[in-house]
Amino acid sequence: MATKFELEDVVKNGTAGNGNGSRHSARTHDDPATTSDAAAVTLADANVQEIYAELLKRLGEDPTRDGLQQTPKRMEKSMAFLTKGYEESVAEVLHGALFDVDYDEMVIVRDIEFYSLCEHHLLPFFGKAHIAYVPQGKVVGLSKLPRIVDVFARRLQVQERLTQQIAEAIEDAIAPQGVGVVIEAQHLCMMMRGVEKQSSLTVTSSLRGVFKTQLQTRSEFLSLVRAER
Ligand SMILES: [Zn+2]
């Protein structure tokens, strides 16, 4: 029984409509009644909205009150959007947007706004990504860089991995002489809970190729990132 989650109440709620005063009396796992209940529904049988409704209940809320009735539906939709990166790939995004060029100076796109969810608390972290690369025969359509950021940001993330995945994707796509990615972000899990540091900015970077080996390239990139806007 320990592995079976009792979602019977919430499943009934989903089909039986309102007005049943007993629906808020959630059973505990130790309740002997649940072990012998042949109609018990496991967590795996519940749909996403039922799970969110149950979550609201366990937070101490009444998922049937006016303001919350549509909340499980909205949460499902919103969470699907915030994690849609799982269904996207860099290859799709870049399809037809790689160009052969003779240019070998630094290309930089900075202040790319992004929103992500930290994988530890499912709370937002958000900020700006700055991307630069020095081409080696190929460039990426400029509008594609923000889209590459979103492919990885719209997943459960940690900022360090997000930074690396963006750099790696550009490296794989166009094999440049080097690529640099800097991300500055604020984490609501730090701001709203825990240490409650409201204005702290977390900065991560991934520097590859000439951005790693050539001090001048690296300095140029970092000073462009820090320049007044
Ligand atoms: Zn967190």
> For residue range 115-174, what is the model confidence (pLDDT) as tens digits?
999 999 999 999 999 999 999 999 999 999 999 999 999 999 999 999 999 999 999 999
Give residue 39's pLDDT band: very low, low, confident or very high (50, 70, 90): low
Q: Are 159 and 204 in contact (CB under 8 A)?
A: yes
| pLDDT(177) > 80 | yes
Is 119 designated active site?
yes
Q: Rounded to 5 degrees, what are φ and ψ at 211?
A: -70, -20
pLDDT score of 4: 42
Is 87 designated active site?
no
> For residue range 57-96, what is the model confidence (pLDDT) as tens digits?
999 999 999 999 999 999 999 999 999 999 999 999 999 8
CA–CA separation, 78 and 56 (whole Å): 16
* 21-25, 190-194, 209-213: segment of lowest average pLDDT: 21-25
CA–CA separation, 189 and 159 (whole Å): 13
Is 95 designated active site?
no
CATH class as words, domain 100-226 = alpha beta
| pTM, entire model | 0.81
| pLDDT(190) > 50 | yes
Is 159 designated active site?
yes
How far the first Cα of the chain sits from its last, in Å, is: 59
Given 61, 121, 164, 214, which residue is catalytic?
Answer: 121
Which residues have C-beta under 5 Å from ligand 1, the single-atom ion? 118, 120-121, 189
Give residue 38's pLDDT band: very low, low, confident or very high (50, 70, 90): low
Q: How many CA atoms lie within 13 A of 174 on its CB side?
A: 29
* Ligand 1 center to 51 CA (angstroms): 22
pLDDT score of 227: 84
pLDDT, average across residues 16-24: 38
Q: Kindly report the average pLDDT of the chain as a whole number.
A: 86
pLDDT score of 41: 66
Given 6, 54, 118, 220, which residue is catalytic?
Answer: 118
What does the domain layout of the chain look like in residue ranges? Answer: 8-82, 100-226
Percentage of the chain surpassing pLDDT 90?
Answer: 71
Higher pLDDT, 17 or 189: 189
Is 130 designated active site?
no
Is 118 designated active site?
yes
pLDDT score of 198: 74
Give residue 196's pLDDT band: very low, low, confident or very high (50, 70, 90): low
- Report DSSP letters for 174-201, one per residue: H--SEEEEEEEEEEHHHHSSTT--TT--
